[in-house]
Amino acid sequence: MSDNPVPASFYERPNVETSVIPVGSGVPLGMEGVYNSRLGIGGAYGSWGQSYSNASLPSFLAERNGRAFEASDILNLAELGFSHRQHVPKLNQAENLELELEVGSRLLRKTLDVCGWDASEVEGVLIGMTSPITLDYIQRISKMVGIPESALKVSVHKACDGSMGALHLALNPSLSQPGKLNIADHLRGKKVLVGGIEGLSRTTCRTSDKNALQLFGNGMGAIGVIPGETMRFLVGKSFEDYDADGLLAVKMEYPHSGLKNEASQLDITQQLENEIRVAGLMNEPKNGESVEMAGLMGMVKLFVRNGVQVVEDVYREYQALMDRVGDSGKSITMGIVHHANFKINALKAKHLSKLGIEFPMPWLLSDFGNVSAASNIIAFLRQLPEINLGDHILLDGFGAGTYYDVMAVSMGEA
C-alpha cells in the first residue's frame, strides 16, 4: 500500500471540486480532473454520496438496510486497503435514475473539459457498468453533453472488468467477432471516451450480504484517448472462466440469453449501427438479492489463480514482442490493477514474483472502497501524472463471471 497519508475523505483532496446534486435531500458529488500534457491524455474521476469512514460505515448501513452488524461481521477494512467509501440513502427508482444520469453526464462533461475536446469531436463512448440504472444509459448521458448520435456507444457489463473490457475493445482489433463491427479498427485515430460508472450504493440497498455491504461504494472515472496514437495496444488477452461454483453472484440488470455451449459466455448485441451491448453471464443470487459473496477467501480463490495466469501469459507475450522488435531491455513501468481488495493484489504480486515477474502495482483507492469497473480508470488517473511518453503500462481487469482483460499498452511514442 502507498505510504502517502490518506485524507479524511475523498472530498477533502485539494483538487477535488465538490457540489450537491438536488435529488432527495441533496447528494454530495466530488470530481477531480487529471491531465498529462506529455501524453495528451486526461480525464476525470470521482464519487457521489456521503463519505463514510470505516468506523462510521456499519451504523449507516444498519440504519439504511435495517440489518444490524454483529462485532464478528465487521471487516478489518484498513487491512483490506480501504478507509472510506461513498453511499447514498435509499432513493426511489425515479430519484436514482435522475441522480445517475446527472452523475454520468457531469463526468463526461468534465472529461471533455480536461482534455480540451468539444463534444462534437467525440466518435466513441465506451463505459463499463455492472448494474446499469437504465439500458440506454450511455446514449442518454452522451446526448446530455452534446456528443453526436452518430458516435459509437458501447456498454460493457462484465462486472468489475467492465472498463478494462471496454478499453480492450477500443484498442485491440483481434477481439472482433465474425460478422460484428471491429470496434478497434473503427475507432483507431479517433477521439474516444472510455470509463466505468458504478452506482454500487444503489445496488447494496438490495442485499443482506455483509461483506458486499462493507466493501462496495460509488465511483466513476473516464479518460479521453485516441487509440493507436495517445495509447497504443501492444499485447493482451481477454479470458473467461465460468464461475461454476457461484463464488460471487451478481443479479444481471441487463438482458442475457443464459448459459451457452460455446466457449464465450458473452452476448454481443447491436440493435442499431452505433449502439453495442457486451453482456457477460453472471451467477445470480439464489435469494433474489443483488449481490452474494462466498466470503473473502472465496474471492481470493476466484481471482488469484486465474488472474496470475492471465497476467503471466500477457507478460510473456510482451517479452516476446520486445525481443522481436529489438527492444529486449524495455520493461513494464507499472501495473494498474483492479482494486478488489489489497490482499488479493498483494497475493497476485507475490505469486508473480515467484515467476520472475515484478513491476510496481500501486494501491491507489483507499478512499473509495471497491468501485468495481470504475477502479482501474480511477487508479490510472491517479497515477497519470507520473507516466512518461513511451512508458509501457500493464492494465489488469478482472470481475465476477469470471472475466479477465489484461493488456500492455504504450503511452504514445517516445
pLDDT, tens only, 364-391: 999 999 999 999 999 999 999 999 999 9
pLDDT per residue of the chain (414 residues) written in tens, 0 to 9: 444 555 579 999 999 999 999 999 999 999 999 999 999 999 999 999 999 999 999 999 999 999 889 999 999 999 999 999 999 999 999 999 999 999 999 999 999 999 999 999 999 999 999 999 999 999 999 999 999 999 999 999 999 999 999 999 999 999 988 778 999 999 999 999 999 999 999 999 999 999 999 999 999 999 999 999 999 999 999 999 999 899 999 999 999 999 888 889 999 999 788 999 999 999 999 999 999 999 888 888 889 999 999 999 999 999 999 999 999 989 999 999 999 999 999 999 999 999 999 999 999 999 999 999 999 999 999 999 999 999 999 999 999 999 999 999 999 875
Q: What integer pLDDT is reported at residue 7 of this predicted model?
A: 53
Q: What integer pLDDT is reported at residue 3 of this predicted model?
A: 46
Q: What integer pLDDT is reported at residue 46 of this predicted model?
A: 98
Residue extents of the structural domains in the chain: 10-410
Give residue-wise pLDDT tens across range 277-316.
999 999 999 999 999 999 888 888 889 999 999 999 999 9
Separation in Å, CA 115 to CA 40, 149, 211, 222, 409 = 8, 20, 37, 11, 20
Q: What integer pLDDT is reported at residue 2 of this predicted model?
A: 45
Q: What integer pLDDT is reported at residue 1 of this predicted model?
A: 44
- In angstroms, the CA 345 to CA 333 distance is 17
Q: What integer pLDDT is reported at residue 298 of this predicted model?
A: 85
What 3 state SS string does the chain have?
CCCCCCCCCHHHCCCCEEEEECCCCCEEEEEEEEEECCCCEEEEEEEECEEEECCCHHHHHHHHHCCCCCHHHCCCCCCCCCCEEEECCCCCHHHHHHHHHHHHHHHHHHHHHHHCCCHHHEEEEEEECCCCCCCCHHHHHHHHCCCCCCCEEEEEEECECHHHHHHHHHHCHHHCCCCCCCHHHHHCCCEEEEEEEECHHHHHCCCCCHHHHHHECCEEEEEEECECCCEEEEEEEEEECCCCCCCEEECCCCCCCCCCCCCCCEEEEEEECCEEEEEECCCCCCCCCCEEECCHHHHHHHHHHHHHHHHHHHHHHHHHHHHHCCCCCCCEEEEEECCCCHHHHHHHHHHHHHCCCCCCCCCCCCCCCECHHHHHHHHHHHHHHHCCCCCEEEEEEEECCCEEEEEEEECCCC
Q: What integer pLDDT is reported at residue 277 of this predicted model?
A: 97
Q: Which CATH architecture has domain 10-410?
A: 3-Layer(aba) Sandwich (3.40)
